Amino acid sequence: MSPSASGRARSITEALESAARFLRETRGRSPRLDAELLLAHLLGCSRTQLYARGTDPLEPSLLLAFQELLERRKVGEPVAHLVGWKEFYGRRFAVSPHALIPRPETEFLVEAGLQLLERSAPIRPDILELCTGSGAVAVTLALEMPHAVVWATDLSEQALELARENVLAHRVQERVRLCHGDLFGAFSTPRRFDLILANPPYVGTERGPAPEEAVVRHEPAMALFAGPDGLEVVRRLVAEAPGWLVDGGNLVLEVAAGQIEGVEAMMQERGFRDTGLVCDLAGLPRVVLGRWEER
Ligand SMILES: C[S@@+](CC[C@H](N)C(=O)[O-])C[C@H]1O[C@@H](n2cnc3c(N)ncnc32)[C@H](O)[C@@H]1O
């Protein structure tokens, strides 16, 4: 894409069409959407406003900046990193290379947790999100459940810094508590939670499908990989979770579709009751849940 050969300034519509063609050449999944997000970011407007302003000419300096972003996108840099945010559960969250970019499928983890809490109806639920990364899940839970207190932990200090930024941006600092540490090791004193949920790292270094090259290049290894079969973190989490749940509390985990039945069996073996699976938009089972009852 270049400024018009005729010397005439390009309009927003023309620039978007040519940008989408440019991104399509590299098997981009959503070239038009990506182009719109990048241009809207540069112009400081919404995607809808791009359409209203379709015939407006673009300044050459803006066209150049757009071209630079398109080049970076073309070699695999995520749109979220280029614009600095990602939408999750209808809200914007800051992103950084130190934490996983929140994925749409993780909204099912949130949804499952909210439904379980509505059913068990504790007055002031105590929720724990392990492996919080950007904090998108923890902040969403706090906003959707105004009486809940949400504890959120991560092993990465840099991910927690990003989570702090998101907690402050969404003004839930009174009810979201960030803790640093290895799973439950983040707590120095014992506690019990009504709900524990996590989207832990679950990619196997030797087994299971490998993530896309761009994901490995641009997102932290600590957020993705968990031992040869990808279940090192999940195994510890399922083993230890009962010691941190109230009687009747629930554990909800997001894992890969190919792991889910094994993780459900792991939970049943550990003594979780009424286990179940939740499917994502593609119809793949991605979330597994179960209830802990003291005998
Ligand atoms: C798949 S990402 C999930 C991020 C976020 N919850 C989301 O769903 O978008 C996993 C996160 O777990 C963290 N992590 C990895 N191993 C951990 C451990 N042993 N204890 C706590 N956090 C861990 C990583 O730093 C990363 O932020």
Is-contact 97 84, C-beta < 8 A? no
Instruction: Write out the residue range of the structural domain in which residue 278 sits.
Output: 86-291
Tell me the best of 106, 129, 151, 155 to mutate to test the pocket of ligand 1, counting ligand atoms within 8 Å of each CB and taking the most. Answer: 155
What is the distance between the terminal CA atoms of the chain, rounded to a whole angstrom? 67
Task: Report if pTM > 0.75.
Answer: yes
Backbone φ, ψ for residue 76 (5° rounding): 105, -5
CA-closest candidate to residue 15, choices 61, 49, 54? 54
Q: What is the arithmetic mean of pLDDT over 104-124? A: 90
Are residues 213 and 240 both part of a single domain?
yes
Q: What is the DSSP letter of 8?
A: P
The strand ranges marked E within 44-189 are 85-88, 91-94, 126-130, 149-154, 176-180
Q: Is residue 189 part of a domain?
A: yes
Q: Is residue 179 part of a domain?
A: yes
CA distance 56 to 58: 7
Here the CATH number for the domain that contains residue 119 is 3.40.50.150
CA 160 / ligand 1 centre spacing (Å): 10
Of the residues 75, 95, 117, which one is the last residue of a structural domain? 75
Dump pLDDT digits (tens) for 96-107.
999 999 999 999
Are residues 160 and 181 both part of a single domain?
yes
Tell me the best of 154, 164, 233 to mutate to test the pocket of ligand 1, counting ligand atoms within 8 Å of each CB and taking the most. Answer: 154
Q: Which residue has the tokens 């695999």?
A: 76
CA distance 206 to 88: 31
Are residues 118 and 64 both part of a single domain?
no
CB neighbourhood size of 246 (10 A) = 17
Of the residues 75, 102, 128, which one is the last residue of a structural domain? 75
Q: How many domains does the chain have?
A: 2
Average pLDDT of the residues of the chain: 93
Residue type present at position 256: A
Dump pLDDT digits (tens) for 211-231.
888 899 999 999 999 999 999
Give the confidence band of 55 by pLDDT, cuts at 50, 70, 90: confident
Are residues 287 and 150 both part of a single domain?
yes
